[in-house]
Chain A
Amino acid sequence: MTETEPLVRVEGLVKHFPITRGILIRRQVGAVQAVDDVTFSIARGETLGLVGESGCGKTTVGRTVLGLYPATAGAIVIDGHHVRTAKGAELMAIRRKAQMIFQDPYASLNPRWTVGAIVGEPLRVHKLCRDEKERLDRVKELMQLVGLSPRLINRFPHEFSGGQRQRIGIARALASQPLFVICDEPISALDVSIQAQVVNLLEDLQERFGLTYLFIAHDLSMVRHLCTRVAVMYLGVLVEMAQRDEVYESPLHPYTQSLLSAVPVPDPQVARSRKRVLLEGEVPSPINPPGGCRFHLRCPQAEARCATDRPAWRDVGGGHWVACHRV
């Protein structure tokens, strides 16, 4: 493996959740096509932002990449390990190298475990410490690292605020010294004042440990602040992916353009003068997504072939990927 090989490579990832009927004899009557043919890669030390509206499949991508949901098709490679076929020791290696920070800091911590047990779990599972004392020391070190007092080691999650709980989740994710961390909307459940703290913490940790992030979010300004590259998702497919500034300054896909025009601007004069791309209608159901381009029903620039042919996911130059017939 060379240095230029990306840390994470996802090719043609498909995740369908079957819809079944019947009690004794289950038959599949349909599928929620949560993720359909998604391809991207993340270089070492990079932060890829994954944005899109609620229900577009961002979280499913994250969970499927880690193998928490079995993928329907496609290839996922993390640091040379194939996630879909990994078993035993190789799977444990992936679990150690790739970690996840969850969206809801209230649901992602076991309410009956102390902070010490929660943060120490990866150390215990992967047998990273020789004895109890070493583990305790390491847990305290991790707590300090994320800005929690080690004195609170025997407290329970409900005794903490949302921001502190998210720090516990971050400490847990870092315990096994991972290379790759999926941040699944880690700040969307927090107060705005706390969001900045957590984002800064994530940045510091990335710098310190050379982490690679997949940052899932719907807050576009936060993504712009944090990410090197940004991928935009719509109804289970990627529509555009490029360097951060390129996405924000010269978006090619009509969906990206409309998404960006919806970002609030603090200056009312700029806000009034700027062109808004308003979309018609609602996001179609992923159970029965439209044929051709999934966006064509709402696209202001749609033409005849958009309804029949699915646009290819291609590099239009300089690592700017887009899936649109009009580009």
Chain B
Amino acid sequence: MSDTTEALSAIPQFAADELEAPPLSLRQLAWRRFRRHKMALFGAVMLALLFVYCFGGALWVSEDYANYTDTKARLQAPSVSHPFGTDTVGRDILARTIYGGQISLIIGLTAMLVELVIGVLIGALSGYYGGWLDSILMRFTEAVFVIPQLFLLIVMAKFFGGKVPNLTLLGRTFSGSVVVVILIIGATSWVYLARIVRAEFISLKEREFILAARAIGTPARQIIFGHILPNSIAPIIVSATLSVAAAILSESYISFLGMGVQAPTATWGNMLEGAMNYIEEAPWFWIFPGTLIVLTVLSINFLGDGLRDALDPRSRVV
């Protein structure tokens, strides 16, 4: 009998304790969910290592060394003096993957940002306002959509190439061609994102919480960026992470055609391109930049996957 009363009295106490626990903040919750996602954690760590490799490595190796040609040491296999081997003109591949990685990562991330800004803006305006604005923006999007991206890349690269002066940032001089490539990739890849965002906005704007916000008098800008955009973050993050990978690959296409980042500036993309004719006789030539591209793309995708789950408050995994 006393056991029963004891057991019963324990129930409300337990419930009270649970209520008294201080609620976790948004960030804490997101971090907890993110931590659970082992692959995302792996992606984040790997990406951090890649950044350390590319930007920290620059402290040990100078850019001049990465671009130094030694015709006596052409196509050497990995050795103590050249751990990753040398390329066709005797440049050290280890040094070039470090500096090439900087450019590739910068191109991938900034081109994604350009794409994100254009795609989200056009998709959001089109989806939220609808009507004639939607018709105009979507016809424009479709016009960009139907032209093959490669063709656009070539035409724009030819048109803008060499018109942008070199610029100095963080003590390094970047070839103007890097900026051109970033803008071109950003400007040609936003169409998918714009359509995804538009579709999300069209479905979300009819929801009752948007009506409630309108009844409150919340300005359209806040409804778009405060209410609708956070609710469509999942597909945007997925699309953005994929586009980092796509941007790194796009850069190698145009570099391949001689219109991308100009030599001697290295990128992982144009290093791969240079290895085209030596796939069998000098595998170190493509293995190292290729592996780095694969690792980067994979890590970013895992990271995006984890972020999507972590940023969703409805997710039950805590």
Q: Which residues of A does B touch, CB under 8 Å?
A: 24, 63, 66, 68, 91-92, 95-96, 98-100, 102-104, 107-112, 114, 121-122, 125-126, 149, 151-156, 158, 169, 172, 176
| Dominant secondary structure of chain B at its interface with chain A | helix
Q: How far is the CB of A235 from chain B (nearest CB, A)?
A: 23
Report whether A169 and B211 are in contact in the complex, using a CB–CB cutoff of 8 Å: no
- Give the residue of A107, A126, A154 whose beta carbon is less than 8 angstroms from that of B207: A107
Which of A110, A126, A151 has most chain B Cβ within 10 Å? A110
In the assembled complex, 21 residue pairs joining A and B whose CB atoms fall closer than 8 Å, in A order, are A24-B135, A66-B215, A91-B217, A95-B217, A99-B215, A99-B216, A103-B208, A104-B208, A107-B207, A107-B208, A108-B208, A108-B212, A110-B227, A111-B231, A121-B216, A122-B217, A125-B216, A125-B217, A125-B219, A154-B24, A158-B313
Report whether B208 and A102 are in contact in the complex, using a CB–CB cutoff of 8 Å: yes
Q: How far is the CB of A170 from chain B (nearest CB, A)?
A: 12
Q: B314 near A: Cβ within 8 Å?
A: yes
Report whether B209 and A107 are in contact in the complex, using a CB–CB cutoff of 8 Å: yes
- Give the residue of B211, B213, B313, B314 whose beta carbon is less than 8 angstroms from that of A121: B213
Q: B203 near A: Cβ within 8 Å?
A: no
Q: B214 near A: Cβ within 8 Å?
A: yes
Contacts of A169 in B (CB 8 A): 212
Contacts A108-B208, A112-B230 given; does A95 touch B313 at CB 8 Å: no
Which of A63, A104, A122 has most chain B Cβ within 10 Å? A122
Report the separation of the CA atoms of residues A63 and B25 in the bound assembly, to the nearest whole angstrom.
35
- Give the residue of B212, B214, B314 whose beta carbon is less than 8 angstroms from that of A111: B314
Report the separation of the CA atoms of residues A125 and B223 in the bound assembly, to the nearest whole angstrom.
11
Chain B 24-40 interface mask (CB, 8 Å, partner A; 1/0): 11100000000000000
Report whether B216 and A110 are in contact in the complex, using a CB–CB cutoff of 8 Å: no
Tally chain B residues at the interface, Cβ within 8 Å.
24
CB-based nearest B residue for A102: B208
Q: B23 near A: Cβ within 8 Å?
A: yes
Report whether B216 and A63 are in contact in the complex, using a CB–CB cutoff of 8 Å: no
A-B contact count (CB 8 A): 74
Q: B19 near A: Cβ within 8 Å?
A: yes
Contacts A112-B231, A152-B23 given; does A158 touch B212 at CB 8 Å: no
Q: How far is the CB of B229 from chain A (nearest CB, A)?
A: 10
CB-based nearest B residue for A103: B208
Contacts of A122 in B (CB 8 A): 216-217
Contacts A114-B26, A152-B23, A154-B23 given; does A109 touch B216 at CB 8 Å: no
Report the separation of the CA atoms of residues A66 and B211 in the bound assembly, to the nearest whole angstrom.
10
Contacts of B166 in A (CB 8 A): none
Contacts of B218 in A (CB 8 A): 121, 125
Report whether A172 and B212 are in contact in the complex, using a CB–CB cutoff of 8 Å: yes
Q: How far is the CB of B312 from chain A (nearest CB, A)?
A: 8
Contacts A112-B231, A158-B314 given; does A68 touch B211 at CB 8 Å: yes
Q: How far is the CB of B230 from chain A (nearest CB, A)?
A: 5
CB-based nearest B residue for A98: B215
Report whether A63 and B212 are in contact in the complex, using a CB–CB cutoff of 8 Å: no
Chain B 202-238 interface mask (CB, 8 Å, partner A; 1/0): 0000011101111111110010000100110000000
Q: How far is the CB of B34 from chain A (nearest CB, A)?
A: 16
Q: How far is the CB of B311 from chain A (nearest CB, A)?
A: 8
Which of B209, B213, B230 has most chain A Cβ within 10 Å? B209
- Give the residue of B23, B209, B211, B213 whose beta carbon is less than 8 angstroms from that of A155: B23
Contacts of A104 in B (CB 8 A): 208
Contacts of A99 in B (CB 8 A): 215-216
